Amino acid sequence: DTVFGIRDASERQHVSAGHVTTGGLPEVVSWLCVYDGVDAADIVAAAVDLVDVDPDGFSRSDVTAMQDSGKIVVAYLSIGEAEEYRYYWDSGASYLLEENPDWAGNWYVDFSSPAWQSLIIDDYIPRIRAKGFDGLYLDTLETYHLEDRYPACSRENMTAFVENISATYRSPPFYIIVQNGLEIAADIAPSVDGVGVEETYCRAVYVDILGRHVNGIPQRPVVTGAHEETMDWLRNQEKLVLTLDYAVLRFQAARCYQRSREQGYVPYVSTAALDSIRLPPAVYMDETIGV
């Protein structure tokens, strides 16, 4: 491995090689997460095992091309927030709560609402499956942090929602990966194939005066430790554990890759915008900077 944990292409085993982990997912030693600014050809050319993309940006033939290049292709799906730019947007919907102050156009929802759950399970996911994706990458689980203001936004209700999605659709080779939600990890673990965790080592902070996120803020050690404790438990449950950190300086990115790989996770480092492919060593490698 390089210091970033990316193996030489001749040593990597892709989906097409048929290598399957005990947990059911093909072996994943590298991944990327990108939601804007790239096309299918860019992703096909990237030497990774798993990609998380915005399903609205790609056709069925695009998804097939990515898969034919040896990748597991999962579709991003926000289940705790509604997004103004999606086909389903309805400003008068009863499940809308309030706008996310850090992400304009994203609205917290009452995810226990039958209308919201039906939209996701009966309409949006079938659209994703029709494009041939290998699975889902479920985000915004942590809307349950609003439970004090909105009692229906409870951890129990989010757990039930994830379990419902999983019971309806999870059947290898259609996988369920969730992002964050570590407080309910033990409850949802039987229903998922993997977990992606943001900002374990480097985080991004939205700065109002700048109107953008500032990347590369070192994570507090107490948060890193808490993340790793739960992530280690998940790994012992034979779940794929992905890390997603936000940094732009080479030495920061290198340290994120190194620490994640040392812990047995699968790292990716980008910016909070997630609008470009930033794979080592081309972007981050600098032989003059040690790790």
The answer to whether position 164 is within a domain reads: yes
Question: Which pLDDT value is given to residue 279?
Answer: 84
Overall domain count for the chain? 1
Q: Which two structure tokens, joined as six digits, stand for 117?
A: 């759950």
The answer to whether the CB of 26 falls within 8 A of the CB of 15 is yes
The answer to whether position 26 is within a domain reads: yes
The answer to whether position 228 is within a domain reads: yes
The answer to whether position 103 is within a domain reads: no
Three-state SS annotation for 236-288: HCCCEEEEEEECCCHHHHHHHHHHHHHCCCEEEEECCCCCCCCCCCCCCCCCC
Amino acid at 128: I
Number of residues in the chain: 291
The answer to whether position 140 is within a domain reads: yes
The answer to whether position 280 is within a domain reads: no
The answer to whether position 92 is within a domain reads: no
Please give the residue range of the domain that contains residue 262: 9-76+114-270
Q: Which two structure tokens, joined as six digits, stand for 57?
A: 């940006």
Cα torsion 216, 221, 227, 228: sign = positive
Question: Which pLDDT value is given to residue 9?
Answer: 32
Pick from 215, 211, 179: nearest CA to 104:
211
- 29-74: per-residue pLDDT in tens? 999 999 999 999 999 999 999 999 999 999 999 999 999 999 999 9
CATH number of the CATH domain containing 49: 3.20.20.70
Whole-model pTM: value is 0.89
The answer to whether position 35 is within a domain reads: yes
pLDDT above 90: residue 2? no
